[in-house]
Amino acid sequence: MDLGVGELGTPGNSKPHQPSGQISHLALDIGGSLIKLVYFSTSDDVDDETGRSATESLSVYNGNKKYPVLKGRLHFAKFETTKIYDCLEFIQKNQLHLGGCQHLEASPIDKAVIKATGGGAYKYADLFQEKLGICLDKEDEMDCLVAGANFLLKGIHQEAFTYMDGQKEFVQIDHNDLYPYLLVNIGSGVSMLKVDGDGKFERVSGTNVGGGTFWGLGRLLTNCKSFDELLELSHKGNNRVIDMLVGDIYGGMDYSKIGLSSTTIASSFGKAISDSKELADYRPEDIARSLLRMISNNIGQISYLNALRFGLKRIFFGGFFIRGHAYTMDTIAVAVHFWSKGEAKAMFLRHEGFLGASGAFMSYGKCGLDDLMVQLIQQFPFTASPAGDT
Ligand SMILES: Nc1ncnc2c1ncn2[C@@H]1O[C@H](COP(=O)(O)OP(=O)(O)O)[C@@H](O)[C@H]1O
Ligand SMILES: CC(C)(COP(=O)(O)O)[C@@H](O)C(=O)NCCC(=O)O
C-alpha cells in the first residue's frame, strides 16, 4: 500500500498517525494518479503549555461572536488511484467517513456525505456509495485548487518558498499583497490559473505534458516499478549523455549571438537520433534525468509565458509531480528565471500535492459549519509542520 500520511501539528512526523480523537471533515481529491485525503481530528493529548486536555473546550471572541476553540490536527494521506481499494479500506478501518458534512455532534447516520473533488469524484461515486455507503458531495476541481492554495498560503506559516542553486528560502506572504498570482498545478496533467482573490480566478492555460507523462514515459523507458524509484534514478543520472546540447551542434562553442551557452539543451533526447544506440545502451538513470529535465523545463517555460501574458510576477507551483524534489524545483525555477530574465519568481508549496483536497476540506464551510471552519483556520499558523511523506 502506498500510504503517505502526515499531519499539521507534529513536527517532523512522517509515520502514519492513527488519530486518537474524534475524526471529522474527511475531504477527498481523487485525481488521475493519486487520491489525496485531508481530515481533522481532535486530539486527546495534553497541551504542554496549558496543561489542558487538547479536547477541552475553550472559547474565543471574534467581534461580538463567541466561538468554541477545537484543538486538533489536520491529517494528510495519499494513495495511488489504481489502489483505490486500499484507500477505501483505510477510510473504513479508521472510520474517517463518519464525520462528514454535518456538525461534529450529529448522529453517525447523518454523516455519510463527504466532500470530494477531482475527476474521480465522478468516476468512483458509485464505488464509494457501494463499499462505504458514502455519498460524495462533488466540488469543482479548479475551485478547490484555488481555495486550497489561498488557504495554505494565508494560513500556514512558511508554506511558500523559492528554490535556487540548492537553496530553499521561505517567502513571507503578505495577506494584503498576495494577488494576482499564477497557480500552476502539476498533477497528471497541468492546469494554469490566474488567481485574483478568494474565489476569483480564471483557468488561463494547461498542458497535457505533466506528471503523468513523466511517470508513464519513465516507466516504459526505464522499467521502474514506482514513481519514487524513477525520481531516485533521475538523481543519479546525467542528461547530457542523451540530450543534444548547443555545444554538440556548434562544435563545443556557445551560440552567444542569441544568448545560448554551449551547455544549453538544444534538443531533449536529441542525441538518441544521432547515436546508433538502442534503448538498452542508455543507462536508465540518464533517461530518467533527461525526461525529468525536459518536462520540468517545458512546464517552467509555459508557465512563464502565461505569467507574461497577464503581467504576473509570482508563480506558485503545486501538484504531486514536484514532490519536494530538488532537481525538479531547480529546473522549473531556472526555466522561469531564464525566460523572464529574472523578472518572475517560481515559488513552491510545502503542501504542494494537497491543494485540491485542502480546498475540498475548506468547502465544508459552505454547509453551515462556518464557525467551526473559522476555528480550524485559527489553529494552523501555530501548528504547521511538513505534511505527506516527503
Ligand atoms: N507515489 C506516486 N505514485 C504515482 N505518481 C506520483 C507519486 N508521487 C508523485 N507522483 C507524481 O504526481 C503526479 C500526480 O500528481 P497529483 O497532484 O496527485 O495529480 P492527480 O490529481 O492527477 O492525481 C503523478 O502523475 C506523478 O508524476
Ligand atoms: C484534466 C485535468 C484538469 C485533471 O486534473 P489532474 O487529475 O491531472 O490533476 C488536468 O489533467 C489538466 O488540466 N490537463 C491539461 C489539459 C489541457 O489543458 O491540455
pLDDT digits 0-9 by tens, 202-222: 999 999 999 999 999 999 999
Domain-by-domain residue ranges, the chain? 4-143+354-383, 211-242+282-349
Phi and psi dihedrals of 213, rounded to 5? -65, -45
Return the amino acid letter for 319: G
Nearest ligand 2 atom to the CA of 206 is 18
N residues, the chain: 390
Cβ of 189 less than 6 Å from ligand 2: yes
pLDDT at 98: 83
Could you tell me which CATH number the domain at 211-242+282-349 has? 3.30.420.40
Of 362, 226, 239, which Cα lies nearest the Cα of 295?
239
Q: What is the pTM of this model?
A: 0.87
The reply to whether domains 4-143+354-383 and 211-242+282-349 share a CATH topology is yes
| 136-141 contacts at long range (C-beta below 8 A, 24 or more positions apart) | 136/28, 137/100, 137/101, 137/113, 139/115, 139/359, 139/360, 139/363, 141/29, 141/117, 141/356
- Whole-angstrom distance, CA of residue 185 vs CA of residue 142: 10
- Whole-angstrom distance, CA of residue 101 vs CA of residue 28: 13
Pocket of ligand 1 (CB under 6 A): 2, 31-34, 80, 118, 187-188, 211-212, 214-215, 227, 319-321, 323, 353
How far is C-alpha 30 from the chain's CA centre? Answer: 13
197, β-bridge pairs: 200
Ligand at minimal distance from the CA of 78 is 1
- Whole-angstrom distance, CA of residue 167 vs CA of residue 285: 24
Q: Which residues of the chain have pLDDT under 70?
A: 1-20, 43-71, 99-111, 368-390
pLDDT at 109: 52
Fold of 4-143+354-383: Nucleotidyltransferase; domain 5 (3.30.420)
Of 205, 209, 183, 184, which Cα lies nearest the Cα of 309?
205
Phi and psi dihedrals of 39, rounded to 5? -150, 160
Nearest ligand 2 atom to the CA of 188 is 8
pLDDT at 390: 22
Q: What is the 3-state secondary structure (H, E, C) of 324-358?
A: CCHHHHHHHHHHHHHHCCCCCEEEEECCHHHHHHH
C-alpha Rg value of the chain to the nearest Å: 22
Q: Which residue has the cell 461515486?
A: 125
Pocket test for ligand 1, best of 36, 145, 320 (most atoms within 8 A of CB): 320
| Residue 140 Cα distances to 81, 135, 360, angstroms | 19, 16, 9
205, β-bridge pairs: 192
132 and 92 Cβ atoms separated by less than 8 Å: yes
Cβ of 191 less than 6 Å from ligand 2: yes
Distance 188 CA to ligand 1 centre (A): 6
pLDDT at 24: 86
All 3 cell numbers of residue 366? 459552505
| Residue 283 Cα distances to 39, 122, 234, 304, angstroms | 42, 41, 10, 32
- DSSP run (H or E) holding 360: helix 355-362
152 and 159 Cβ atoms separated by less than 8 Å: yes
- Whole-angstrom distance, CA of residue 165 vs CA of residue 174: 25
Nearest ligand 1 atom to the CA of 35 is 23
- Whole-angstrom distance, CA of residue 60 vs CA of residue 57: 10
User: Residue 254: which residues within 8 A CB-CB, separation 6 or more?
Assistant: 246, 247, 260, 261, 262
Phi and psi dihedrals of 69, rounded to 5? -100, 125
